[in-house]
A and B are shown apart, each in its own frame.
Chain A
Amino acid sequence: MQAQTQERPIIEVKNVSKAFGGLQVINDCSLDVAKGSITGMIGPNGAGKSTLFNIIAGTLEEDSGQVLMEGRDITHEAPDQLFHQGLLRTFQIAHEFSHMTALENLMMVPPAQEGENLFSTWLKPGRVHAQEEEVRRRALEVIDFVNLGHVKNELAGNLSGGQKKLLELGRTMMTDAKVVLLDEIAAGVNRTLLVDLVSNIERLNQELGYTFLVIEHDMDMIARLCDPVIVLAQGEVMMEGSIEEVRNNQEVVEAYFGKAG
């Protein structure tokens, strides 16, 4: 459907199914996310968007099917392993380490630091210290990038909902991410912050080459950011195309509002 992908898709979902009890939430679903794209995922409530997200991110185990990242099978990998391969996610309801400051929250992120090993803390304090300084420098850059510089020493639990969302986005910038899954990043964010958020996502996509997969209910944001857009309904991909194609598709309109008459 998309012309621009000669390259192998960065994420491939192949025939994934998932049921909760008797409820078939994802039904033999297959989709691709092109490298370097900002792919949107929309669909009515209960279409299985979040479930599919959780499956890709490794939080949920699928009943059957496969997820590939850069052609490698990541079906059974845990979220922390995926993190180290550059697959990151944010949460629909913003998550934060509420008892740490905003800056400390960002400094928690970088992988494979020297300090990881208990012994190196005692044996090579100089190197660990230098690395912590490097991480702090990066965290300070990121926190300015997401416009949270003025609250960097505030406990993250005290930030507003919108600020927590920005912090989530900042978290994805602390490491060299390849794919970032954004779960309703705009929900509960005021318009002014939203403009920041959208421009930050675009900058990350263009300047750092992040691929984004975005679940969103805010159609304006989808229209501004995403191409292509995947429509999910009843656990299946209903269609994929540009936002214009999606808006003009009768089937999609029916899925959202029910059949006329």
Chain B
Amino acid sequence: MNELVFFINKALISGAVAGSIYAIGAVGVTLVFSIMRFAHFAHADQMTFGALIVFFLTALFPGAGAALGIPTPLLMLPLAMLATSVLAIGIDKAFYKPLREHGVKPIVIVIASLGVTLMLQGIIRLFAGTSSRSLYIEESKAIFRLDLPGDLASRPLVITEPQILLIVFTILAVFGLHLFLNRTRMGKAMRAMSDNPDLARVSGIDTNKVVMVTWVLAGCLAAAAGTFLSLDVSLSPDLSFFLLLPIFAAAIVGGVGHPYGAIAGGFLVGYAETLSVFNWSVLLRPINHWFPEWMEIPRNLSLVGTEYKIVVPFFILVVVLIWRPTGIFKGKVI
């Protein structure tokens, strides 16, 4: 049973954590794509930015959370969401909107977003340096060890506080987004604009407002994903670099422009990554005695080495796109 607990800890929980991060990130990318029809590379840097704001605020008021009984970074997250939304709208006004109004091809805006990526990375390094930091400044990360009843296993199930927060947030965000897109007038306007922007405009939908709301949503999601990831691991300025590719893979695999697809894609990529670096020989050990004498279970039986983890999303991407060229869910519109 210990092996199963190990599997749950190292594969199921880790996969859920990676999947949640990728899913939240991919939803942001896909929302921006469905409304403005370009791949926004700077999304991952907005994640870093959000986490950085949380870090600064937490450093300024380290004891604030304790008063309310929640971790200070969680208390600061709404402020960081606000700041990231403002940043996203500002970037749009400064860089993307003039291009859009000029009627340039989408690829030009994609390249502009690459430029914004480099700029944001530079600015973040300028203020935060290159080292990685923990978001827990005066607090410590709560780690929950759940002992299984009886003599089932001597190892406990281990899950940390940020992991629980992340998974809860993901569930709430997915549910909220679903309600928003299907129930509210603004959500419907977003769906309409992603379907047919010209018609949306002549149907009295204020497309500028829709664009703004999209950036706010994308900014909030980015700040949340960045913060939860930094809580779980640590905040480093090149966070976005490691996130960008799996997030885009997740968005494309799910069907670009399709939020539910992005969620599915996020978890697919997250679990694929985790399971492919998982050491499967652990699970074989208990049935060691079934194997003939001459066969020895290798010490490491993972599909790919950890250093090649980044390849996995692309493998998935290729396989899914051969099977379904528009992604798991048919992409293009919300």
Contact = CB atoms under 8 A, between A and B. Distances in A.
A79 B201 contact: yes
B198 interface: yes
Nearest to A95: B199
B196 A97 contact: yes
B203 interface: yes
Contacts, number: 65
A95 B185 contact: no
A158 to B, nearest CB: 14
A116 B186 contact: yes
A91 B199 contact: yes
Contacts of A100: 191-192, 195
A108 B196 contact: no
Contacts of A79: 201-202
Interface in A196-240: none
B205 A80 contact: yes
Nearest to A89: B202
B184 interface: yes
A121 B183 contact: yes
A98 B185 CA distance: 18
B100 interface: no
Interface string B182-210: 01111011011001101101111111000
Interface of B: 180, 183-186, 188-189, 191-192, 195-196, 198-199, 201-207, 333
27 contacts: A78-B201, A79-B201, A79-B202, A80-B203, A80-B205, A80-B207, A83-B202, A84-B204, A91-B198, A91-B202, A95-B196, A98-B195, A98-B196, A99-B333, A100-B191, A100-B192, A108-B192, A108-B203, A109-B203, A115-B184, A116-B185, A117-B185, A118-B184, A118-B186, A121-B183, A121-B184, A175-B204
Interface of A: 57, 59, 78-80, 83-84, 88-89, 91, 95-100, 108-109, 111, 113, 115-118, 121, 171, 175
A91 B180 CA distance: 29
B167 to A, nearest CB: 24
A78 B198 CA distance: 12
A95 B205 CA distance: 15
A96 B205 CA distance: 14
B204 A115 contact: no
A109 to B, nearest CB: 5
A132 to B, nearest CB: 9
Nearest to B334: A99
A108 B200 CA distance: 9
A96 B199 contact: yes
Q: Which 6 A-B pairs have the closest CB atoms?
A: A83-B204, A115-B185, A95-B199, A79-B201, A97-B195, A116-B185
A209 to B, nearest CB: 20
Contacts of A95: 196, 198-199, 202
A116 B189 CA distance: 9
Contacts of A83: 202-204
B7 to A, nearest CB: 40
Contacts of A97: 191-192, 195-196, 199
B202 A88 contact: yes
Contacts of B186: 116, 118
Nearest to B330: A99
A111 B201 CA distance: 12
Which of B180, B185, B198, B206 has the most chain A CB atoms inside 10 A of its CB?
B185
A98 to B, nearest CB: 6
A88 B180 CA distance: 28
Contacts of A109: 203-204
Contacts of A98: 195-196, 333
A100 B204 CA distance: 17
Contacts of B189: 108
Contacts of B188: 108
Nearest to A131: B185
A111 B202 CA distance: 11
A115 B180 CA distance: 11
Contacts of B185: 113, 115-117, 121
A89 B207 CA distance: 17
Which of B183, B204, B206 has the most chain A CB atoms inside 10 A of its CB?
B204
Nearest to B180: A118
